[in-house]
Amino acid sequence: MRCGNHPAEHGVIHLNMKFAYGVIGLSVILVGCNKGASSTGSGAGNLAVVNGDPVTMEEFNNYLPRKTSVQVQTPQGASEARVAGSLGLQAMRDLINQKLLLQIAKDQNVVPTKDDVANELKRQTDANPAFVRTLQAAGLSLDQIRSDLLIDLARFNVVTKGITVTKDDVDSYIKANPTQFVNPATATIYWLVIEDKKKKAEVDAALKGGIQFPAVASQFSDVPTAKQDSGAYPTKIISQMPAKLQSVIGTMAAGKTTDWIQDGQNAVKFFLQSKTPESKLEITEQVREQVRRRLAEMRGQQANDLGKTIQDRLKAAKVDVSVPFLKTSWDQAMTALKSADQQAPAAK
């Protein structure tokens, strides 16, 4: 349920387990986490204590909106990336867009009801029993999860208004695209990357001495996240791994460790804990419903440009920002947006 670029209906849906269970969009999860942080109060208690010195919630809440960089996960480990503006500006923009979305849904008489949200929560939980638990572990309350589902459903209702997808449409798509309805081949892998070749002997000695690979990776690996995740490779889906690694994994047996593999200036070693082959996805009613929704969304995106609708609504909206440093950034962004509109006809 996303606005923006739309794939053609004959495009790949990739109904692996991720799509079969359904997910809340990342932007919604980030907004939910932001709401969770603010719910603690502007200065109530400490976030952490560092060698006896407290990091207060007030410091955290003051710093977070101004933060201009984030860590993103890559196959090479965590990497620092700059955000456009600041996290505060992006979060505020998301929340403003959500308000505009709900206003559009209200105008079109497609605002989800409390029963709609409750049914969606049950659907998600039936498909994935860990759905609520996983989001609560990320800092969301049950009310925030319901709020995020409301936004997702409103977005879907606006995009798909006037769109009909029949049972035959769903059957035809499933029949025509069997390769998309699979559980992908997976492998649980741990890896260890070192830059200093002198460490290789220490690593080999530790492994030969019977220390488990994850423990060795946690101690010696130069991957930034190794101490936190014991060297767990960032994806389990084999098709998402580099081709060279796929080739290595294809010939390995579970419980085995590779020799050292040279990767530029680094030496890399992998441990294969387990792997599962690709299998057919059972076509349950949950899967069929996900196909129906996805087909409706793709057709709707071709007919209804939600991104443009929200942007047009934003240009005409009266938005009063109270926080001074966010107001300045917001005013600059709105000026640039309106200026681009004025320049577009001249350029055309």
Identify the band that residue 188 occupies on the pLDDT scale cut at 50, 70 and 90: very high
Let me know: does 218 contact 207? Beta carbons within 8 Å.
no
- Which segments within 216-286 are labelled E, that is strand? 256-257, 261-263, 266-276, 279-280
Q: What band does 70 get if pLDDT is binned at 50, 70 and 90?
A: confident
Residue 313 CB neighbour total at 10 angstroms: 16
Other Cβ atoms within 10 Å of 235 Cβ, number: 14
> Which of 60-64, 201-205, 277-281, 284-288 is predicted with the least confidence, judged by mean pLDDT?
60-64
Taking alpha carbons only, the member of 42, 82, 80 closest to residue 63 is 42
Report domain extents, the chain: 17-175+283-316, 185-277, 318-348
Q: What is the mean pLDDT of the segment spanning 106-127?
A: 95
CB 71 within 8 A of CB 78: yes
- At 44 the pLDDT is 64
pTM of structure: 0.68
H/E stretch holding 277 reads none
What does the alpha-carbon distance between residue 37 and residue 140 come to, in Å, rounded to a whole number?
Answer: 9
In this prediction, residues 70-79 reach a mean pLDDT of 73
What's the DSSP call for residue 113?
Answer: P
Mean pLDDT of the chain: 84
Is the pLDDT confidence value at 69 over 60? Answer: yes
Q: Are 184 and 20 in contact (CB under 8 A)?
A: no
- If one compares 293 and 14, the residue with the highest pLDDT of the two is 293
Question: Is the model's pLDDT at 13 over the cut of 60?
Answer: no
The predicted structure's pLDDT at residue 339: 80
Contacts 24+ apart (CB under 8 A), 107-113: 108/157, 108/158, 108/161, 110/154, 110/157, 110/158, 110/161, 111/154, 111/157, 112/149, 112/150, 112/153, 112/154, 112/157
259 pLDDT above the threshold of 80:
yes
Q: What is the pLDDT of residue 42?
A: 44
Asked if CATH classification 3.90.1310.10 holds for the domain at 185-277, the reply, yes or no, is no
Task: Looking at mean pLDDT, say which of 9-23, 39-53, 64-78, 143-157 comes out highest.
Answer: 143-157
- SS3 of residue 104 by DSSP: helix
Q: What is the mean pLDDT of residues 212-221?
A: 95
Give the dihedral sign, CA 177/183/185/187: positive
Predicted pLDDT of residue 62: 87
Asked whether residue 14 carries a pLDDT value surpassing 70, the answer given is no
Residues in contact with 140: Cβ distance below 8 Å, sequence separation at least 6, in sequence order: 29, 32, 33, 35, 36, 148
pLDDT at 345: 58
Q: What is the b/e burial string over 49-82, where b = at least 16 CB atoms within 10 angstroms of the residue's CB? A: eeeeeeebbbeebeeebeeeeeeeeeeebeeeee
Question: Residue 347's pLDDT band (boundaries 50, 70, 90)?
Answer: low
191 pLDDT more than 90: yes
